Amino acid sequence: MKLGFGIPAVGPAVGSAHGLSAFCRGIEDLGYDSLWVADRLVTPVAPHTPYPGKQQPFPPEMTRSLDPLLLWTVAATATRRVRLNASTLNTFYYEPPHLARLLTTLDVLSEGRLEVGVGLGWMKDEHDIARSADWHQRGKILDDMLAFLQAWWTTNPVAWDSPFFTLPPTHADLRPVQAGGPPIWIGGASAAAMRRVGRSGVGWLAFEGLPDDVIDAWWSIARRTAEDAGRDPDMLKTAMRINLDPNTSVDSLAAKLRRHAESGVGEAFVDAFAAFPTLDQTLDFADRLIARTGQL
């Protein structure tokens, strides 16, 4: 099982490009396979949408958030081997050509190490602020965005005409390093999300706490959709997000990672945004963790 670690995209840990560069190089030097970012645009004082699975409206660290694309850029320049991913990039923040240019540029700057985890977002307040579109249409808008990105990365000139966006024939000479563009991962907790995995994703961005029977049913949907789309369902992968709670021990987390590896999870990554206030403390934990896990 591959193992990744999250860049603290919210909270007080990141304070300079120099410090973040040292953190990213440290994660790479320790032997981790990937670095992950999250995406939080705004945190309303009085949100209408509660944080998923929690009683509080949101973790207090979310009141300070950094831009994930800029974090990716620093990580790309500071490292040479680790892959870069997101859990998840909220694509409705971006206009399609803008996002296409950003992601293509990052794939070039990272020399083909970019992967893009996308989702619909859970905070309706944020969606309403960022985009003047029907919240209930966001799944269709995401599908349209993914199809447009595929067109941008595989055709030149590129043109687009859909109910959500129109682009006249346009030069797209900036090409991604990875043939066909960066791999797309899909986040979400619904049958619709798993159909999107089957149609468009290399895999599913999973999270802990879901019953096994629910996961099995969702994977059946993803596999069936992949077969209907002429894709190989056996190629679909899982990346498991683990949000680190304060006071979680290295030994208990290492044991959890081994269980995920034994269950067939292809990749796991640890997000410690709520656990440590500094990058040095986060890196120290990452060091102790990978020393405990060995070869997963």
DSSP secondary structure letter of residue 65: B
233 Cβ partners below 8 Å, 6+ apart?
198, 222, 223, 224, 226, 227
Band of pLDDT at residue 288, cut at 50, 70 and 90: very high
| CA 14 to centroid of chain Cα atoms | 19
The reported pLDDT for the residue numbered 122 is: 78
List pLDDT tens digits, range 46-60: 887 777 766 567 788
List pLDDT tens digits, range 214-243: 999 999 999 999 999 999 999 999 999 999
One-letter amino acid for residue 260 of the chain = H
- Cis, peptide link before residue 225, omega less than 30° from 0: no
* 174-187 mean pLDDT: 97
pTM recorded for the entire structure: 0.94
Burial zone of 168 (CB within 10 Å; 0-12 exposed, 13-18 middle, 19+ buried): exposed
Separation CA 40–CA 67 (nearest Å) = 8
Separation CA 244–CA 255 (nearest Å) = 14
Packing angle of the helix pair 96-109, 138-154 (nearest 10 deg) = 50
Q: What angle do CA 235, 237, 241 make, to 5 degrees?
A: 175
Q: Say yes or no: domain 2-293 is CATH 3.40.640.10.
A: no
Burial zone of 163 (CB within 10 Å; 0-12 exposed, 13-18 middle, 19+ buried): exposed
DSSP secondary structure letter of residue 233: G
